[in-house]
């Protein structure tokens, strides 16, 4: 709907209030339909990692295209992305004298992992007490639905120009869309960009993410023997690749849990972070287990390097045999402060691991992925409008936070469109268990996020 449809136009504060109130009511009324649509979307196992079937990913692209068409956007299509799954693109021209807003999300999801760790099946979305459980419910199919809900409120008559890009392989190979953006700048050029792939520290606590850590990831392989050997006959003298890898990885952190790799110093975040109790609860830290690292939680989570071993290729316990291992592999992820250089961080960690490798084992590296971080400039016209929209939707003013996760596309957008304001907010929260078992979305957080986005579009048009 538009101010004209509600009889408001620019005739005064009272009319403007009723216009915004109509937007809120429209989105709230849409929620039952949107929940059904989100459940159908979450039921599609759109894992775009190698080794997973492609058909569900393409099905999610088709479902996303259908959802965007339902908003009244006049131009919706799938766009091939070289080396990746298609992006879903949509646009509506800007009314005269109004800005254009680009909306971003992604339809692919992380693998579910061990099904035994889920309390409900990961791809059978389940509603429990206002929460929707399922892989991708929060990250990032909630972002798609927030955009859809916000756009439907205008019934095809949008107050600003709209562009939408929903990518299909963010979780594994987001750099493919970065290359696409660099080759097609006019397609995505906008005055403001909303990235709906983040969230609030806690439910009901509105926040705008102003910094993102970058990413460096690689697979390291340690090889010591031509082939594995009987541990009774050769153990005690033959070098064990698995033991060597364990020793190497254990040296990455000191006894407090701080990164000890030279060249990767701790950083300082200028604002407030979560309190320890809230963080322990959101992270599910067990009683008696200590948090690792030093400095404030904001420093550790948003402005410092973090190294995590995210996977190991070694014999499983169930399949273990009495053998000295010839080869072992690990996937290592380095989170890089916003201003840090991911390439240098990867090189520093790899140089260090080669230095500490024992017994002359052979070390090789494959499948390296790099992504830059992001640090927002001071807010302008768009951020002012977003602050007002979030305060109305949540009943309290938003605050600035950082994010320890990485969205490499954001830094590409910032470089490609330096005049555009990039706004990161969304329906996730720290307890949403994204990338983990039992991922869930609080449905009222989705409603408030969609209301905030729609109010922003209306306010930004009239600014």
For the chain, which residues make up each domain, given as ranges?
A: 16-212+373-461, 214-271+298-371
Percent of the chain with pLDDT strictly greater than 70: 97
**Known catalytic membership, residue 182:** no
**Tokens representing residue 34 in the block:** 């949107």
254 catalytic per annotation: no
- Per the CB < 8 A criterion, the answer to whether 168 and 57 are in contact is yes
Q: Is 347 helix (H, G, I), strand (E, B) or coil?
A: helix
- Compute CA distances 405 → 171, 216, 271, 305, 395, whole Å: 11, 12, 17, 11, 27
pLDDT at 9 over 50: no
pTM metric for this prediction: 0.83
Q: Which two tokens stand for residue 207?
A: 């926040």
Mean pLDDT of the region 378-401: 94
Instruction: Give the architecture (CATH level 2) of 16-212+373-461.
Output: 3-Layer(aba) Sandwich (3.40)
The catalytic residue among 167, 170, 191, 428 is 170
Average pLDDT, the chain: 93
- The model's confidence at residue 192, banded by pLDDT at 50, 70 and 90, is very high
Catalytic residue among 65, 108, 139, 430: 108
How many Å apart are CA 37 and CA 65, to the nearest integer? Answer: 13
Rounded Cα distance between 457 and 161, Å, is 9
214-271+298-371: CATH architecture: 2-Layer Sandwich (3.30)
> What pLDDT sits at residue 282?
82
Closest CA to 414 of 424, 422, 403: 422
Q: Which two tokens stand for residue 406?
A: 């990485």
Q: CA angle, 413 as apex, 410 and 54 as ends, to 5°?
A: 65
Pick the range with the lowest mean pLDDT from 122-136, 265-279, 416-430.
Answer: 265-279
Alpha-carbon gap, residue 162 to 174, rounded angstroms: 23
Q: Average of pLDDT values for 100-123?
A: 97
Cβ atoms of 426 and 449 within 8 Å: the answer is yes
In this predicted structure, what is the pLDDT of residue 14?
67
pLDDT of residue 406: 73
**Would you say 38 and 145 are in contact if contact means Cβ atoms under 8 Å apart?**
yes
For residue 169, is pLDDT > 80?
A: yes
Q: Can you give the pLDDT at residue 149?
A: 98
Per the CB < 8 A criterion, the answer to whether 343 and 218 are in contact is no
């Amino acid at each position: 709907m538009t101010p004209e449809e509600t009889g408001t136009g620019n005739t005064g504060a009272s009319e403007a209030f009723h216009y915004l109130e109509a937007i809120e009511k429209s989105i709230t009324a849409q929620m039952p339909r949107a929940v059904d649509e989100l459940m159908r979307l979450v039921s599609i196992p759109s894992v775009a990692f190698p080794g997973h079937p492609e058909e569900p990913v393409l099905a999610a692209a088709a479902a996303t295209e259908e959802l965007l068409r339902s908003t009244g956007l006049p131009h919706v299509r799938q766009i091939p992305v070289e080396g990746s799954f298609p992006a879903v693109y949509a646009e509506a021209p800007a009314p005269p004298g109004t800005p254009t807003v680009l909306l971003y999300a992604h339809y692919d999801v992380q693998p579910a992992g061990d099904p035994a760790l889920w309390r409900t099946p990961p791809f059978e979305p389940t509603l429990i007490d206002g929460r929707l459980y399922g892989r991708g419910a929060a990250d990032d199919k909630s972002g798609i639905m927030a955009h859809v809900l916000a756009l439907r409120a205008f019934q095809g008559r949008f107050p600003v120009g709209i562009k939408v890009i929903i990518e299909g392989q963010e979780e594994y190979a987001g750099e493919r869309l970065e290359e696409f953006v660099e080759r097609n700048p006019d397609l995505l050029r906008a005055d403001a960009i909303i990235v709906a792939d983040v969230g609030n520290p806690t439910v009901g606590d509105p926040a705008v993410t102003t910094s993102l850590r970058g990413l460096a990831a690689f697979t390291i392989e340690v090889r010591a023997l031509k082939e594995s050997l009987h541990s009774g006959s050769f153990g005690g003298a033959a070098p064990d690749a698995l033991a060597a890898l364990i020793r190497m990885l254990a040296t990455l952190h000191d006894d407090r849990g701080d990164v000890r790799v030279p060249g990767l110093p701790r950083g300082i975040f200028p604002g407030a972070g979560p309190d320890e109790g809230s963080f322990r609860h959101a992270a599910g830290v067990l009683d008696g287990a200590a948090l690792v690292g030093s400095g404030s939680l904001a420093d550790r989570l948003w402005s410092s390097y973090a190294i995590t071993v995210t996977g190991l290729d070694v014999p499983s316990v169930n399949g273990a045999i009495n053998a000295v291992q010839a080869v072992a592999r690990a996937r290592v992820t380095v989170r890089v402060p916003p201003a840090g250089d991911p390439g240098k961080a990867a090189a520093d960690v790899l140089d260090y691991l080669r230095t500490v490798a024992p017994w002359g084992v052979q070390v090789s590296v494959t499948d390296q992925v790099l992504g830059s971080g992001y640090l927002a400039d001071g807010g302008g016209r768009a951020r002012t409008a977003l602050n007002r929209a979030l305060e109305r939707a949540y009943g309290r003013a938003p605050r600035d936070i950082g994010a320890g996760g990485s969205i490499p596309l954001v830094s590409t957008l910032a470089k490609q469109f330096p005049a555009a304001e990039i706004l990161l907010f969304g329906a996730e929260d720290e307890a949403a268990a994204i990338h983990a078992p039992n991922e869930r979305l609080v449905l009222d957080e989705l409603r408030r996020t969609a209301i905030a986005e729609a109010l922003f579009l209306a306010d930004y048009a009239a600014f």
